[in-house]
A and B are shown apart, each in its own frame.
Chain A
Amino acid sequence: MIFPKLKVLRSHGTQYIPDLERVELTEEFRGRPELTETGDRGDLERAARRCPAGALSAAPFALDLGRCMFCGECARMAPRNIRFTNDYRIGSPTREGLVLRPGDTRVAFPEEAVRPEVRRFFGRALQLREVCAGGDASVEMELGATGNVNFDFGRFGVGFTASPRHADGVVVSGPVTRNMAEALEICYDAVPDPRILVACGTEACSGGLYAESRAVDRTFFDRHTPDLWLPGVPTHPMTFIDGMMTLLGRKRRP
Chain B
Amino acid sequence: MIYRITNNTAPAVALDDIPVVSYAAFYDDLAARLRDERYHVAHYFALPDEAETHLRFFCLLLDDATAEVLLTSFVMDYYAECPLPSLTALHPQLHPFEREIAERWGVRFEGMPWPKPLRFPCDRADRTSTIDNYPFYRMEGRALHEVNVGPIHAGIIEPGAFRFICNGENVLHLEIALGYQHRGTERLMTATDNRLRQVLLAESAAGDSSVAHATAFAEAVEKLTDGAAAAAALAPERAVAIELERMAMQIADTGALCMDTGYQLGQVACEALRTMTINTTQAWGGNRFGKGLIRPAGTDHPLTAEKAAMIRGNAAEIARRYAEVCHDLRTSPSLLARFEQCGIVPRTEMVRIGGVGQAARASGVARDIRTTHPWGLYAGQPGRETITEEEGDVMARLSVRCRETAQAAALIDRLLDGFAPAAPVRPDYDAPLRPASLAFGLVEGWRGETCHVAVTDSAGRIAAYRIKDPSLHNWMALALAVRGEGISDFPICNKSFNLSYCGHDL
- A residues adjacent to B (C-beta < 8 A): 1, 4-5, 7-9, 11-12, 15, 25-26, 28-30, 50, 52-53, 69-73, 76, 130-145, 148-150, 160, 162, 174-175, 177-180, 182-183, 187, 209-210, 212-216, 233-234, 236
Q: Beyond A138-B289, A215-B183: 4 further Cβ-contacts under 8 Å?
A: A53-B197, A149-B271, A150-B275, A209-B200
Best-surrounded residue of B194, B279, B282, B502 (most CB of chain A within 10 A): B502
User: Cβ of B66 < 8 Å from any Cβ of A?
Assistant: no
Find chain B residues with CB under 8 A from A28 CB.
Answer: 282-286, 301
Decide: A213 and B207 in contact? CB cutoff 8 A. no
13 A-B contacts (beta carbon < 8 Å): A1-B331, A8-B265, A9-B265, A11-B320, A139-B207, A141-B207, A141-B252, A148-B268, A148-B272, A150-B275, A178-B182, A216-B183, A234-B288
- Determine whether B131 belongs to the interface, using a CB cutoff of 8 Å to chain A: yes
Q: How far is the CB of B497 from chain A (nearest CB, A)?
A: 14
- How far apart are B156's CB and chain A's nearest CB, in angstroms? 4
Residues of B within 8 A of A187 (CB): 152
Q: B65 interface residue, CB < 8 Å from A?
A: no
Q: Is the CB of A233 within 8 A of B156?
A: no
Residue on B nearest A142 in the bound complex, by CB:
B288
Are A69 and B122 touching (Cβ within 8 A)?
A: no
Residues of B within 8 A of A236 (CB): 288
Query: Could you tell me the distance in whole angstroms from the C-beta of B151 to the nearest C-beta in chain A?
Result: 5
The complex places the Cα of A174 from the Cα of B292 at a distance, in Å, of 19
Q: Residues of A contacting B320 with CB < 8 Å?
A: 11
Q: Is the CB of A177 within 8 A of B272?
A: no
CB of B123 within 8 A of chain A? yes
- How many interface contacts (CB-CB < 8 Å) are there between A and B? 197
Asked if B159 and A209 sit within 8 Å, CB to CB, the answer is no
- When C-beta atoms are compared, the residue in chain A nearest to B327 turns out to be A4
A180→B180 contact, CB < 8 A = yes
Question: Interface code B312-327, partner A: CB below 8 Å = 1, 0 otherwise?
Answer: 0000000011001101
Closest A-B pairs by Cβ, 3 of them? A138-B207, A136-B207, A215-B184
Assembled-state Cα–Cα distance A70/B332 (Å): 43
A53 to B292, CA, bound (A): 15
Q: Give the docked Cα–Cα distance between A141 and B131 (Å).
A: 25
Q: Are B158 and A140 in contact (CB under 8 A)?
A: yes
Complex alpha-carbon distance, A131 and B301, angstroms: 33
Residue from A73, A137, A145, A233 whose CB has the most chain B CB atoms within 10 Å: A137
* Complex: A53 Cα to B200 Cα, angstroms: 10
Tell me if A149 and B155 are in contact (CB < 8 A): no
A150 is contacted by which of B157, B184, B271, B501 (Cβ under 8 Å)? B271
Known A138-B208, A214-B187, A215-B183: A144·B151 in contact at CB below 8 Å: no
Task: Report the separation of the CA atoms of residues A236 and B281 in the bound assembly, to the nearest whole angstrom.
Answer: 14
Given contacts A50-B429, A134-B181, A136-B206, contact A72 B286 (CB under 8 A): yes
| Beta-carbon contacts under 8 Å, B293-309 to A | 300-301
Chain A residues near B210 (CB, 8 Å)? 138
Q: How far is the CB of B469 from chain A (nearest CB, A)?
A: 11
Q: Which chain A residues lie closer than 8 Å to B49 at the CB level?
A: none
Report how far A145 CA is from B320 CA in the complex, Å: 22
A4-B320 Cα distance, complex, nearest whole Å? 13
Pair A234/B207 contact, Cβ less than 8 Å? yes
Could you say which residues of chain B place their CB within 8 Å of the CB of A76?
300
- Closest B residue, CB atoms, query A141: B208
With both chains docked as a complex, state the minimum distance between the C-beta of A208 and any C-beta of chain B, in angstroms.
8
> B196 interface residue, CB < 8 Å from A?
yes
Instruction: Give Cα A105–Cα B274 distance, bound, in whole angstroms.
Output: 33
A29-B292 CB under 8 A given contacts A4-B328, A73-B196, A134-B181:
no
Task: Say yes or no: is B381 at the interface (Cβ < 8 Å to chain A).
Answer: no
B201 interface residue, CB < 8 Å from A?
Answer: yes
